[in-house]
Structure 1
Amino acid sequence: MAVASKFLAVGAVVPAAVSGVGALATQAFANLAFREQGLALLRTGTAAADVIAGLVAADPGRAQRQVGVVAPTGPGASYTGPECFAWAGGVTGDGYAIQGNILTGPEVVAEMERAWLAGSALSLPRRLHAALAAGDAAGGDSRGRQSAALYSVRHGAGYGGATDTEIDLRVDDDPDPVGRMSQLISLWELYFTKPDPTTLLPLVDDLAHEVHERVTALGYTSLAAWAGVENLEERLTDGAVDPLVLEQLRAAKPKP
């Protein structure tokens, strides 16, 4: 899920998701109860459109609500109450729901959908961000810019494999939150994604000597000791070095 708004810390309000269950975004005059209620319905195998029907029917404030839901399979669903501030609306398709309110116009969600459909070759975080950036470039929130968030879940994808939260990045207050989010994704890719096995460089001969000399010059006893301080431990591999780790090592300077 990706979201941006002229609203402080939008990532603390809008997104909710559980691996293997589904995802939900509550927007406009956000009803935060929708998050747990919607996920509970999704756990029973309820289709996305039926989840929204149940949430909306039970909510006396539904005229001012907006909500999007995606289940593990099937089309996404979106609801926009008739009293949401213009422009408000959304589009849906197989596996996605895109909606917004107080937007500059329908071109925002149209451009988001175009970017989403065109981005199937990208990683999920980059594809989500591409859609968000396309909407932002098309006009985005008519009030301006303040915050953005990117959230995704996948079984065992959390840090160290202990949780399902794959990515949870937030820009809570920034004049260019969508642009800043791209920078945070780059850092997340560096620190928390696994190295490509086909690019690993064997730690032998001249390269092994170089790595040893560099970590020693930085004041460490091993590559692992240095990598742990630099938060690169997720990219370590026995007997080889990730080119991205090597790049960071070569750029590192001894502390004065």
Structure 2
Amino acid sequence: MTFSLVARDSGTGAFGIVISSSSPAVASRCAHARAGVGVVASQNVTNPALGTLVLDALAGELDAEAALKAVLAQEKFPDYRQLTVVDANGSTAVHSGPNSLGVHTHLEGEAAVAAGNLLADESVIAELLGGYAGSTAKAFEDRLLDGLRAALAAGGEAGPVHSAGMLVVEDVPWPVTDLRVDHSDDPIGELAALWALWQPQKNDYRVRGVDPTRAPSYGVPGDQ
């Protein structure tokens, strides 16, 4: 009921995730990223706590594989969980429990992991990773979205998807992009539209947090 891609941008060190599901509000439960540390998707029969625990383990200087193993060793129901990890060095790790739903698979690439469950076909995950890796877009977010679009074009889930999200962290403690479509008949299309709205404003909002004396105007009534 979910397909996702986690990745590290080698050019900037940013971490990002795109995700879509037939369930509502998938990104609120499954997308986890921390600047300078890593990115995690915790999905299938989701335990949202696992994402934070893996990031904490990565922050404690474990690599992706060791962090994933350490967290799964403490998890009561690992057979139901599907997790993907990319760490600060671009190393990857993945776990797809045997009780993952329906057609499920995963694929590791260069500083990226794609995984899904209840898929229309296993090829969806290869297209998800390939769409990202083969994208020539300049912005990391655009490349992530190219992967998501490729997965949808390849069949996506076994049924229609209704939610999608994109989360990106860079060199500040907060997400520089955190966009969600919690329920829609076209969540990936609406997510792309949100990114088109956010992209030209993204750096302005970063500047407002770092140094408000250099912050550009919001352009709303009452703002000087």
Q: Smaller-chain TM-score range?
A: 0.7 to 0.9
CA distance in structure 1 between the aligned counterparts of 2:47 and 2:159, rounded to whole angstroms: 21
Partner of 2:185: 175
Select which of 140, 146, 155 maps to 1:139.
Answer: 155
Q: Which runs of 5+ in 2 are unaligned?
A: 1-16, 205-215
More contact order relative to length (CA 8 Å, sep ≥ 6)? 2
Aligned pair count reads 196
CA RMSD of aligned residues (A): 1.9
Establish whether residue 82 from structure 1 lines up as the match of residue 98 from structure 2: yes
- Where does residue 35 of structure 2 map in the other structure? 19
Indicate if the aligned counterparts of 1:5 and 1:147 stay in contact, CA closer than 8 A: yes
Q: Is the 8 A contact 2:64 2:92 kept in 1?
A: yes
Partner AA of 2:219 in structure 1: G
TM-score (norm 2): 0.82
Further displaced range: 54-63 or 1-10: 54-63
The match for 1:46 among 62, 65, 75 is 62
Per-residue Cα deviation, 1:10-61 (whole angstroms, up to 9, x for no partner): 1110011110000111000111121221111000221111222122222121
Contact 2:107 2:126 in 1 (8 A): yes
Residue identity in the other structure for 1:51? A
Bigger Cα Rg: 1
Q: State the one-letter code of the partner of 2:79.
A: A
Distance in 1, matches of 2:203 and 2:197, equals 10
Runs of 4+, deviation exceeding 6 Å:
none
C-alpha distance in structure 2 between counterparts of 1:63 and 1:122, whole Å = 38
**SS in structure 2 at match of 1:188:** helix
From 81, 84, 103, the equivalent of 2:119 is 103
Q: Give the Cα separation in 1 of the matches to 2:92 and 2:167.
A: 17
In the alignment, structure 1 residue 229 sits paired with structure 2 residue 217: no
Matches within 5 A, 1:154-233: 154-156=170-172, 163-193=173-203, 228-229=219-220
Is the Cα contact below 8 Å between 2:58 and 2:67 reproduced in 1? Answer: yes
Give the counterpart letter for 1:182 in structure 2: A
Q: Distance in 2 between matches of 1:120 and 1:30?
A: 33
Distance 1:171 1:44 in 2: 33
Shift of 1:121: 4.2
Unpaired stretches in structure 1, ≥5 consecutive residues:
157-162, 195-223, 234-256
Q: Percent identity among equivalent residues?
A: 28
Q: Which has the larger share of helix?
A: 1
Determine which structure has the larger strand proportion and give its number: 2
